[in-house]
Structures are given as C-alpha cells and as structure tokens.
Structure 1
Amino acid sequence: MKILLASSNQGKLAEFRQLLDGFEMVPWPTDAPSLPETGAFFQDNALQKAEGARAWWLEHGLEPVDGVLADDSGLCVDALWGGPGVLSARFAPDLASYRDKNHRLLAMVPDGADRSARFVCVLAYAPLQGEPFTASGTVEGSLAFAHRGDGGFGYDPIFIPDGFDQTFGELPAETKHTLSHRARACAALRERFRLGVNP
C-alpha cells in the first residue's frame, strides 16, 4: 500500500516510516503548495490537509498512490490554557529553531504553575476515492524545566511522558514509538484498516 504523506516536515516523515512500517510513504513534493491549516481543532486541520493534498495530487501527482495521510498534532499545556495547541507548528514564528521556541514556551509558564501537558495527534486518511476518516492518539505528561535531549524533533525535548523521568528528546526512539501520541494514532489507523475500512 502506497500512501502520500501530506507534510513537508522531515521529522514526521521519518517517524511515520517507522510507525507505519509495511506501508510505502511517498513524501510531499518540495515544489508542492502549502496546505491549509485554518481549523480550530486538530481534526479540522488534519482533514483540510488530507483533502487539499488529495485534490492537488489527483491533478499533479507523478505516481499512483492508494490514499493521502495528513497529520495535525501539537502540545497542549494546561498552564497556557491548552496552548500552543493547534498553533504548535506556528508558535513563535520569529524564532528559527525549536530549541529557541522551547525556551520561549517554558519561559511563558508561570513559576509554581501546574506543568501538566499532553501531546495530541489526529491523522486524517483520504482514499483517492471515498470519504476521509480520522484516527487520534494522546499521551499525557508534564513540561520539563529546560530543553533536554537531542532526539525526536519539535517540542520532544521539553515533554516528559507520564511514568518516565526523561523527555522524549532523551528517551530512545524505540521507547518513544511505543507510547507517543503519533504512535497511538498510527495504531488506531492500523486498526481502522484491519476492521475493513477500504484503503
């Protein structure tokens, strides 16, 4: 099964290739347009991207695929009223590196505040013909007090999953891939396929 990944994020592409082994992942072309992300919820954005990518690929795609997969995910921090949430990818646009973005986000959390947080991932799968559907995953945890580790990408080095003392940036990839929000969403997606959703 060949799936077009509607994302130019190389970190996500690498993770999906590991989490959805057995599926051939086709990367979003570098000359393809940006995809819309104007929804108020992760599900809205994932569906927007999947449907937008499918429409573009049907007109411009250079190889056959079975469907299109889009992901919208983010970090939701209780002390920041759930932010950055759906704006995670667009948080602190004036800063180029995620290390700097992570420092800024941590600085926004008031001293003594609840550091509970969660990663949320919603996947939208759009077959070339038929209705798209979604699968989701969440992992609970807390914010570290500093950027720790160089593994993963994005906010991984400041998120400590429940039951661990290390951040996703410090944990081995094989451990992260058993419990991350993206791993859980991929497991739910596989289950949809197993139950007979025609990919």
Structure 2
Amino acid sequence: MKLFIATSNLNKVREMKEMLGDLDVEILSKEDVGELPEVEEDRGSFAGNALKKAKVIQQQVGLPTIADDSGLAVDALDGRPGVYSARFAGKNATDKENNRKLLGLLSGVEDNRRRAHFVCMMAFVDEAGSEEIVEGQCHGEIGFEPRGDNGFGYDPLFIPDGYRKTFAQLDSKVKNKISHRAQALEKMKKLLLDRGL
C-alpha cells in the first residue's frame, strides 16, 4: 500500500514519516515523484486549503494522498496569523522574518495575554475521490524571544502548555507526541487503519 504526503516542506515530510512509521504503508512525497504543481492556498480556512491540496495532488499522483494546512492563532491578534502563518511577513518570508513580525506585534503585550494555539487540519483523498478531514490543536503561549534550534516556523517562539521549553527546544520525540500535527496524524492514522490500510 502506498500513501502520498502532499507537501513541499521537507520538515513536515520528515515529521509525518516518523509519526506514521508504524503503519504498513510505503510513504511517498515530492522527492519520490519529481515536479508537482504548486497548489495555491487561497481558501479562507485551514480545512479548505488542506482539502484543495489533497485533491489536486491526488489527481496528479494517482495515490491516496494526505495534505495538511496548519498555522498559529494568537489570541491577542484576534487569531492572526492564522491561514497566513507561512507568509505572515510577506509572500516569500523566511521563518525568521515571520517570527520577527509576530514579536513586533506582541511588543509590550504581557505574559497573561500571550496565549496562542497551533491548528492542523489534515485532509485525506483516495483514488475514488473519498474525502476525510481531521483536526489537531496544541495550546500554549508565545515567548518573548526565539529559543532553540529544532523545528521550523514559529517553533522557537511557541511554548506548549505544561512545558517551559519552546517547540524548538523540545526533543522531536516529545514534540511528535504533543503537537497539533501529531494529534491530527493520530486521528488520521485511526481513519487509515479503519479503512484497512
């Protein structure tokens, strides 16, 4: 059985392969098939973006496909950056630029108002066009400066509930148990097992 992960983010591919490693499936990604179309994330929700990516890529590769859209929602910013998390500081912004913009907007915001959560919506589309969507969330707060070298995106700023370290300081095994993507993947794994994968 083969399963395709529709993302060009190699960090996500690595994370998802680790978390799905105990399934009896061959996990493929962009690296295994060459060029794929860049799917524009133009929907107004994480679920809409994830489903669009899964459908487009599934039609290209002809394999059961998983795609996710995830991002950070900060309470003090009314849920921003949200679906714009990857391009918060501009279309081709780096992680550092996005983090810098976030810290700038939160400058002067006190500890008790720095609550945030990561959201991951994960979509699955099979060869017959059947669709499934699951959600994972991880709650925490935004630190005052980047800390740690693991992870990507906003990981150096996000301190999950129950921990004093940022995602970027935690061991990947710990992060892969508690993250929004881990929670979505656990639900997805159950769906895949129920389908006989």
Normalising by structure 1, report the TM-score: 0.90
Q: Which moved more, 1:97-106 or 1:39-48?
A: 97-106
Secondary structure of the residue that 1:50 maps to in structure 2?
helix
Instruction: Name the CA distance, whole Å, in 1 between partners of 2:91 and 2:162.
Output: 34
Change in 2 beyond 3 A, CA 1:91/1:51: same
1:61 match:
none
- Hey, which bits of structure 1, 4+ residues long, moved more than 4 A? none
2:146 match:
147
Q: Deviations over 1:91-144 (max 9, x none)?
A: 212664312321221111141351000000011010111311111100000001
Q: Which moved more, 1:104-113 or 1:143-152?
A: 104-113
* Match status 1:97 vs 2:94: yes
Secondary structure of the residue that 2:156 maps to in structure 1?
helix
1:38 match:
42
> How far did residue 32 of structure 1 move?
1.4
> How far did residue 4 of structure 1 move?
1.0
1:25 match:
27
| Partner amino acid, structure 1, of 2:41 | E
* Match status 1:80 vs 2:84: no
> How far did residue 57 of structure 1 move?
2.0
Normalising by structure 2, report the TM-score: 0.91
Secondary structure of the residue that 1:75 maps to in structure 2?
strand
Change in 2 beyond 3 A, CA 1:130/1:31: closer
> How far did residue 40 of structure 1 move?
1.0
> Any stretches of 5+ residues in structure 2 without a counterpart?
none
Given that residues 86 and 98 in structure 2 are in contact (C-alpha distance below 8 angstroms), is that contact kept between their aligned partners in structure 1?
Answer: no
Change in 2 beyond 3 A, CA 1:94/1:2: closer
Within-5 A mapping of 1:1-199 = 1-21=1-21, 22=23, 23-28=25-30, 29-58=33-62, 65=63, 67-93=64-90, 96-113=93-110, 114-194=113-193, 196-197=194-195
Q: Which moved more, 1:18-27 or 1:180-189?
A: 18-27
